[in-house]
Structure 1
């Protein structure tokens, strides 16, 4: 069996955003039990959403970048720090490098907006994944939507 090919791109239209939200619903709401009213927020409207899509159009993963005032509100850092969030990879695509490709695409979007660093709230089980990508943990562990998290940051 061959490994499916996929592309990662910035969500371009309403259909792309709906695909992003569908992956988030599958992973966060369906698998992890995050309440829908916590999963979707006012930041979605102004965020840069990235989407991984299999060559046949099936969405495989998503993530978002907050910048400007939204990122400051999320991170507590200055305006030169973006906030990577809502990174989700569909079960069928795990282990294919989709998560890494999504993180790198979000970092590229951050660089294109002149940001110097990217901050994120990592679920603690994913700390090793982000550490391998150059993110450094900081601060204490905390609960977000009932799931243990820790802050992480990477300079760009």
Structure 2
């Protein structure tokens, strides 16, 4: 897989999100102004678009991951996890130390397996149960050695 990061939403990203969120899942309000402030990550299998997500700055060093979608033929191949990793790397390279996301509750286990935790905020998005999750992006492993020095 190859990953491309773009400031403007690519047509391939729009097509994937439309296929997954609008056509498969029935969401209506898929595209918003946040797209204009996001970095869009598209995964390609050769020249074929396979998956997408976006990341954007939220507050301070906190960034938000969203609109993670993988086309049906590419599911079950860890592409979603790889896109999350690429999103974390991208946000971190822009100064993020924490990533949040607004997950559909039915896929919360996927994000938990990647180190995200429930923030305790549950709501609905177009009638679909969602929850806010977060993950620190900093490595605190060095803090003990600093205390011992």
TM-score class normalised by the smaller sequence: 0.7 to 0.9
Aligned counterparts of 1:155 and 1:140: Cα–Cα separation in 2 = 17
For residues 67-104 of structure 1, the C-alpha deviation after alignment (integer angstroms, 9 at most, x for no partner) is 1xxx2xxxxxx311100000000011001111011101
Task: Give the equivalent residue in structure 1 for 2:101.
Answer: 120
Indicate the structure with greater strand content: 2
Q: SS of 2:109's equivalent?
A: helix
Count of residue pairs the alignment pairs up = 137
Q: SS of 2:95's equivalent?
A: coil
Q: SS of 1:110's equivalent?
A: helix
Deviation at 1:140, TM superposition (A): 3.6
Deviation at 1:141, TM superposition (A): 2.2
- In the alignment, is residue 31 of structure 1 matched against residue 12 of structure 2? no
Aligned counterparts of 1:9 and 1:129: Cα–Cα separation in 2 = 23
Identify unmatched segments of 5+ residues in structure 1.
1-5, 72-77
- In the alignment, is residue 49 of structure 1 matched against residue 40 of structure 2? yes
Note the 1:98-117 alignment, pairs <5 A: 98-117=79-98
Note the 1:68-83 alignment, pairs <5 A: 71=58, 78-83=59-64
Identify unmatched segments of 5+ residues in structure 2.
138-149
Larger radius of gyration: 2
TM-score, normalization: structure 2?
0.87
Indicate the structure with greater helix content: 1
